[in-house]
Chains A and B, each alone.
Chain A
Amino acid sequence: MTGIFTENQAKQLLGPHHDALYTCVTNAFARWAKHGMKLVSRPDAGFRSHLMQQFMVDEARKRFGNVPGVQIFERKNDDDEPNAGRFLVSFDDQVLVQFKKFDPDFKTRNYPTPAAIRFDGQESLPNIPGGTRLSVGYQLDATGFDLASVAVVCQGLYRPNWWYELEDPSGRIAILPPAEPLRPAQVRAKEQLDLVFDKGKEKG
């Protein structure tokens, strides 16, 4: 198991993408809060994790679909390996990022299939490109109604090799003023009707 990125190497490589990775997670959570939470009256944790996963993947497609040096890699489940499906984002062919929910120790909650164990253990897997495997994901607060942390984690076999948290970019970057939005079309009566429209004449 050689050649795994150190935390500093990962920060250097992923640095230009930190804001986008952070936004993938926070936007996904905002979508969950706005839409997903209302789909059923008592959503359980599994339902939330699943939707969050879909939202994070969706946000990643938007942000990384057209970025030089970044490639989206997808493997679907198949009959031989029903749990082999993965959505990964490859950065410079050196790092592969998956999106996950973390427990309080920043471990991912994968069902320990042989493939999942090999994946977290940074061991080679058929049909998965090489590179250090990292997880970008979130921890929830105790209520489950808010994010406690967004982090980049390098998983090991039993515990994370290392992890670091991502900062909220809005806390350090001035938000650009929004462009003048398009307003819904409105119809207004002209003010000087008598000059432009002779109602009596039309009647006549």
Chain B
Amino acid sequence: MSERRFNPAILELARDSRRMTQSALSVAVGAAQGTISKLENGQSASPSDDLLEKIAKALGYESSLFFESFSPRGPSLFLHRKRSSLPISDQKAIHAMIEIVRLQVQKLLRSVDIPEMRIPFLDPERLKRRPAEIAREIRMHWGIPSGPIENLTAILESVGIIVVPFDFTSRLMDAVSVYSEREPMPPMVFLNSKAPGERIRFTAAHELGHLVMHCRQDFPGDHAEDEADAFASEFLMPASDIRGFLGGLTLEALGSLKQSWRVSMQAILTTAEHLGRITPYKAKNLWIQMSRLGYKTREPFEIPIEEPTLIRDIIRTHTGQLGYSDAEIAKVVHLPVDAFQEVFKRETPRLRILPAS
């Protein structure tokens, strides 16, 4: 029987993932705050089985989670598309939850194979190439035909990226992508499942840009976000393919183009401006019209959200081919069965930061 070692870092991670303070957790389990603090700082040995079960229950996990040897990453090692006003506490909770999901997926991947990772790494600075040129290279490399991309999520999954719809419980975070060549884990992209379909697609392409251009940089500079945006724009709307559609733009035309190219009307108008296919006067006019109609916050002709299939199929392979029961898989991912079923057993697994139970 292997020795189980209590992992203080996982306790802190689990608590952060539920947005609980040490004080709130101590109240929930009837212990002193100092006890929780010492456990997290590694200054006390493993807690008693009774306390451990209470902590696990309060946080909505199985107590086996605290004995994982997983080393969480620091928040600075994530690449994310967010608005600058996202509070630090929210960022911390999101990063903690993502780390736990990565741990869960890592465990599930012990028994199944997913597509091989096929992302080339192309550093724009070193190659002296613009992000748009890199986006074109990637499309050619993967043999993506010219024109609109019908299902971006399917492409990402086919090149070995695990795409996770994630309720960040905040509109201020669009996505997080995590990947390191030093870890035996596939790239994972967590996308805000509450955003409109077209925004999710653009964000997914933006995250792909990060994975292609920045994942070998530990601390990408401020320009990384602009580069990822430029990559996303060209990846979804190659200039040579869309240019011919951008003449005589009207609101109606923007709506039609949105439905065929599956990007926002605003992204199309911006592209038309960049390509010089619309005069500044006409562009300004369209921006004003869209603003008056409230399109800047919610556009019409919402694009349906693309549904990832990899995580769903990983679970199905366990329950089907490998003959696991829900209770057995729930144990593997350290969740109570009902929480496992709520998160992973839906048609499209959709993760969210659960309130502490």
Contacts and interface: CB of A to CB of B under 8 A. Distances in A.
A186 B242 contact: no
Given A65-B241, A182-B158, A202-B332, A197 B111 contact: yes
Contact of B113 (A182, A183, A190): A190
A184 B239 contact: no
A188 B111 contact: no
A72 interface: yes
A179 B118 CA distance: 15
Contacts of A201: 2
Interface stretch (B89-97, B279-287, B306-314, B341-349): B306-314
A183 B158 contact: yes
B154 A197 contact: no
Interface string B217-247: 0000000000000000000000111111111
Contacts of A61: 244-245
A188 B113 CA distance: 5
B319 to A, nearest CB: 11
A40 interface: no
B331 interface: yes
B251 interface: no
Contacts of A39: none
Given A65-B241, A66-B239, A66-B244, A187 B146 contact: no
B147 interface: yes
Nearest to B333: A202
A35 interface: no
A188 B328 contact: no
Contact of B111 (A74, A179, A183, A193): A193
Nearest to B310: A185
A187 B317 contact: yes
B159 interface: yes
Range class of the A interface residue count: 20 to 34
B248 A74 contact: yes
A180 interface: yes
B245 A65 contact: yes
B95 to A, nearest CB: 26
B110 interface: yes
A106 interface: no
Q: Which of A65, A76, A184 has the most CB of B within 10 A?
A: A65
Nearest to B156: A185
A72 B244 contact: yes
B321 interface: yes
Contact of A182 (B114, B159, B244): B159
A183 B116 CA distance: 11
Contacts of A193: 111, 322
Nearest to B334: A202
B309 A76 contact: no
A204 B2 CA distance: 11
A181 interface: yes
B115 interface: yes
B112 interface: yes
B74 interface: no
A178 interface: yes
B157 interface: yes
7 contacts: A61-B244, A65-B246, A66-B240, A184-B157, A189-B112, A189-B321, A189-B322
Given A65-B241, A197-B110, 20 more contacts: A61-B245, A65-B240, A65-B244, A65-B245, A65-B246, A66-B239, A74-B248, A76-B248, A179-B143, A180-B143, A184-B309, A186-B313, A187-B114, A189-B113, A193-B111, A193-B322, A197-B111, A202-B331, A203-B331, A204-B1
**Top 3 A-B pairs, shortest CB-CB distance:** A65-B244, A179-B143, A61-B244
